[in-house]
Amino acid sequence: MSPRRTRLALDPVVVRKARALARRAGAPVVKLARTHTTVSVERAVLRLAGLQGADVEGIPWANRLVDAVRADCGLEHGVALPVWDALLRDGAPDLAVLAQKAAAGAVTFRVPEGRPAARAARAATAAARRGIARIDANRATRDRLLRRYGDPPKPWVYLIVATGDIEEDIPQAQAAAREGADIIAVIRSTGQSLLDYVPEGATREGFAGTYATQENFRLMRAALDDVSKQLRRYVRLTNYASGLCMPEIATLAGLERLDMMLNDSMYGILFRDINPIRTFVDQRFSRQVHARAGIVINTGEDNYLTTADAVEAAHTVTVSQLLNEYFAREAGLPDEQIGLGHAFEINPDLPDSFRLELAHALLARELFPDAPLKWMPPTKHMTGDIFRGYLLDGFFNLAGAMTGQSILLVGMMTEAVVTPWLSDRDLALQNVRYVFNAAGRLGEDFVPAPDGFIVRRAHQVLAEAVDLLERIVDDGLLDAIGDGTFGLMRRPADAGKGLDGVVRHAPGYLNPATDILEGRA
């Protein structure tokens, strides 16, 4: 299916109005993000400048250094000026030594003025440039490998691997790639999003996932490069840039050449009770890094349908997609890097459930023709009946074929039963291969009746999305989130985890990474 082909006859005036409303709803939040920083944004600056390592308690030196600066002179001016001023005054050979001295109380920080401030700004900018140059080099390497091996046709087959042990993840990921997976997603250990630090080094234990660390990123990237060379097919790597350390994880992903990152503007707010302002500030910086690194983001609209009814709340998914698109574009991401999310979560016992799924999937495809949409398999209504589950996954794959989805997450028949075995993944990949061999080009022939059920439903959902956006513009996005508009979760702007890590900029605030990413440095 050509992404420009329209089968729903969406009114372009209504579509333009929806995007204009999303822009009006999101603009005040962007203003907040532009005038605030967070402890994680400041730590990301230090990581971009090369700071690695942790103390004997496992707390990263980036955390220790930011905490020391905050205690001495606050973060209203950013971490760059105080840190590089101290580095130049103290004569420490690098940031790690400075952090160790700061933790021992052997160095103090100030906000420099005049010539010392200018010298510190130049040194900080040079250090940030070196980190961004490494990200640029990784992007060039990806582009070179894609030219050498070629890009697989869409939909890209996306498969999750995460045992908790990076040494076990690697052979499973390579096996999945050999069986046909185009994207390997290493999901994070449960609860990592609530840690206000990034663990250091390779990890061999985690619950329902593997810790996202720079070393784990490096190890998995190297393993997938090896299997890409064997298969003559570039295999993409995905992880999660969300939670309290979203900016840092995004930076580490760019430094280690990950290809995709889960990065949703509201997921952490709704499902992890992270403060809304903290999340919006962090996500803007993280998306700027993703834009520079060529990393495709995956948003999390599918999660709303695990807590709200997939039919009644369908329009909230569309609203979130429009907001995510606006926030992503504002941060510099082109459409081809905005992997908006949606999901196959309508109750299969509902009459016409498959027709409803087609309407919702096709609406997303036609509203965002250039976005690599990520289509999520059924989870909420998987009952433990593996035969029924396998059939539902087949219907999910068929809907993806008929509506031209871009990234197809492989559904598991053992969803809600056990952590999938390798054999379960093999059967799931066979399901995908069968459907796309048999019906992969069905989208060329699938044209819903102009006045039929599917077209009417798509228009209804879009109209309801416009109505909701109008209310959000009137009430404010932060208030809408506080009132439980999305996923039935009430998250007020003055509460939630991480609020104490949000700081308003003072005059003279400096973030050399943001200046470079926005073209000001």
> How many Å apart are CA 310 and CA 315, to the nearest integer?
9
Question: Would you call 411 helix, strand, or coil by DSSP?
Answer: coil
* DSSP-derived pairing of the beta strands 296-298 and 260-262: parallel
Structure tokens, 201: 């080094």
349: CB partners within 8 A, 6+ apart: none
* DSSP-derived pairing of the beta strands 36-38 and 502-504: antiparallel
> How many Å apart are CA 237 and CA 177, to the nearest integer?
11
Facing residues of 408 across strands?
Answer: 157, 375
Contact 275, 313 (CB under 8 A): no
Nearest-10 crossing angle of helices 246-255, 276-293 = 10
> How many Å apart are CA 498 and CA 473, to the nearest integer?
26
Handedness of CA 259, 260, 265, 269 (dihedral sign): negative
- In a 13 Å sphere around the CA of 252, the CA atoms on its Cβ side amount to 29
Contact 315, 351 (CB under 8 A): no
Please list the active-site residues: 267, 302, 374
Provide the strand spans (E) within 176-249.
183-185, 236-240
Q: Which strand (E) or helix (H) includes residue 260?
A: strand 260-262
> How many Å apart are CA 463 and CA 228, to the nearest integer?
45
SS (H, E, C) 107-133: CCCCCCCHHHHHHHHHHHHHHHHHHHH
> How many Å apart are CA 149 and CA 315, to the nearest integer?
40
Nearest-10 crossing angle of helices 61-73, 95-103 = 60
The region that residue 58 occupies, defined by phi over 0 for left and psi between -120 and 50 for alpha, beta otherwise, is left
CA 376, chain centre distance (Å) = 15
> How many Å apart are CA 378 and CA 345, to the nearest integer?
5
Structure tokens, 233: 């097919």
CA–CA distance from 100 to each of 16, 64, 341 (Å)? Answer: 54, 8, 42
Residue whose structure tokens are 């956006």: 469
**Residues 277, 185, 395: CA angle, nearest 5 degrees:** 100
> How many Å apart are CA 132 and CA 137, to the nearest integer?
9
